[in-house]
């Protein structure tokens, strides 16, 4: 049976929710994020603001200079998570094979669901109509034979688009596109490829392996497979995963260590919550760091016993982050954390003597989970510990 994958990506999500709640903002330039006078960063720019060059992860002060007429709004994470929960509940009515990629996007494996909902394209249209009807928002959707192509397809016709890539049209769609459309090709990798006269996906697909290795190192082989439309990664729901992770790719390389630490803490909280939701514990914590030149580092540590306690996972991740900083820091294009060596709570040997601190942390986690379920994960947050070296920079 041929695979049919759908990628659902909400349009300008934070800005769209603000327009939903305040209709008078429709048609205006919106910047959602931190305060421009406090080193704030843009979380989402509306499409109107993007026309002026504004984008996510950009310093808010710079975005305001590019678009001085923009309305600047603070992030309301509890409201966004409320909408996100409704989105994923809606998607689960079509298939249980859902892999969350972020708060506002997901991959759905709908292979074999045609008997219930019709062909994948018809299913994608039903999803779009349901999102408008139930939430008053729009999504861009891609349908394709694999995860990479589905994600790329959803980005080809934004906003409110629907793009279908069939097996017979893969190269016709891919070849003319800029190499930056490939997963993992950022500005620096694109510049490196351009120096060897590779500007399109078609040119990359036909390039010699030696030339690609010269331009982007070991990543060349992987990129050439993507350029040929090849991607065998499965859609993996959390309950079936061998690992659970969160990562973010910044629009521009991020060098502010306090911001990176805050992003990492948020990722750890999300991973821990997903572990607890599926009654899993993890023994290994891994940090993924990618520079602008596509160089990727992975740092891991293994705990004495599996855990789903946020504080323990954060201590492990923060320790890896501190070690990376001490070895010499560089701005990052991507930051992520993954929990692996997963096991269910059943079958784990209980300690002979109870750890009161761990029990207290467990109660804290459960309380925060309840608050997050009711009010959104942004309703209450941990603060990343301020390291001594932070105060000296």
Q: Which residues are catalytic?
A: 105
Q: Which residues contact 238 (CB under 8 A, 6 or more apart)?
A: 100, 244, 274, 277, 278
Neighbours of 351 (CB within 10 A): 9
3-state secondary structure at position 174 = helix
Q: Going by C-beta distance under 8 Å and a sequence separation of 6 or more, which residues neighbour residue 47? A: 11, 12, 159
In DSSP terms, 144 is beta-bridged to 5
Q: From start to end of 124-242, where are the E strands?
A: 139-144, 162-164
Query: Do 276 and 313 form a contact (C-beta atoms < 8 A)?
Result: no
Q: Which residues contact 174 (CB under 8 A, 6 or more apart)?
A: 152, 181, 201, 202, 205, 227, 229
Q: Which residues contact 179 (CB under 8 A, 6 or more apart)?
A: 185, 189, 190, 193, 198, 199, 200, 201, 203, 204, 223
Rounded distance between C-alpha atoms, residue 247 and residue 337, angstroms = 6
Greatest alpha-carbon span in the chain: 65
CA atoms of 300 and 345, how far apart (whole Å): 22
Rounded to the nearest 10 degrees, the angle between the axes of helix 356-375 and helix 77-92 is 80
- Find out whether 244 and 263 touch, Cβ atoms under 8 Å: no
313: left (phi over 0), alpha (psi -120 to 50) or beta: alpha
């Amino acid at each position: 049976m041929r695979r049919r994958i759908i990628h659902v990506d909400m349009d300008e999500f934070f800005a769209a929710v603000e327009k939903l709640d305040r209709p008078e903002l429709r048609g205006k330039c919106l910047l959602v994020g931190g305060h421009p006078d406090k080193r704030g960063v843009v979380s989402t720019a509306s499409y109107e603001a993007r026309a002026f060059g504004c984008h996510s992860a950009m310093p808010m002060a710079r975005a305001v200079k590019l678009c001085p007429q923009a309305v600047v709004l603070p992030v309301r994470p509890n409201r966004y998570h409320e909408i996100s929960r409704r989105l994923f509940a809606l998607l689960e009515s079509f298939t249980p094979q859902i892999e969350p990629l972020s708060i506002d996007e997901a991959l759905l494996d709908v292979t074999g669901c045609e008997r219930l909902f019709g062909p994948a394209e018809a299913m994608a249209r039903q999803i779009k109509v349901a999102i408008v009807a139930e939430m008053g928002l729009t999504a861009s959707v891609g349908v394709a034979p694999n995860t990479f192509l589905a994600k790329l397809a959803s980005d080809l016709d934004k906003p409110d688009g629907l793009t279908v890539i069939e097996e017979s049209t893969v190269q016709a769609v891919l070849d003319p596109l800029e190499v930056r459309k490939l997963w993992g090709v950022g500005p620096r990798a694109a510049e490196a490829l351009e120096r060897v006269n590779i500007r399109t996906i078609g040119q990359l697909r036909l390039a010699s392996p030696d030339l690609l290795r010269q331009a982007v190192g070991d990543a060349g082989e992987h990129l050439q497979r993507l350029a040929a439309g090849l991607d065998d990664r499965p859609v993996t729901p959390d309950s079936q995963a061998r690992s659970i992770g969160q990562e973010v790719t910044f629009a521009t390389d991020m060098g502010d260590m306090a911001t990176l630490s805050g992003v990492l803490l948020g990722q750890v909280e999300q991973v821990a919550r997903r572990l607890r939701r599926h009654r899993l514990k993890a023994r290994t914590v891994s940090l993924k760091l990618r520079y602008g030149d596509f160089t990727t580092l992975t740092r891991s540590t293994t705990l004495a016993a599996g855990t789903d306690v946020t504080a323990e996972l954060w201590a492990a991740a923060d320790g890896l982050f501190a070690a990376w900083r001490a070895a010499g820091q560089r701005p990052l294009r991507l930051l992520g954390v993954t929990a692996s060596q997963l096991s269910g709570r059943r079958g784990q040997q209980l300690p002979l003597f109870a750890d009161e601190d761990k029990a207290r942390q467990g109660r804290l986690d459960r309380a925060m989970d309840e608050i997050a379920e009711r009010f959104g994960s942004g309703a209450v947050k941990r603060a990343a510990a301020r390291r001594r070296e932070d105060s000296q920079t």
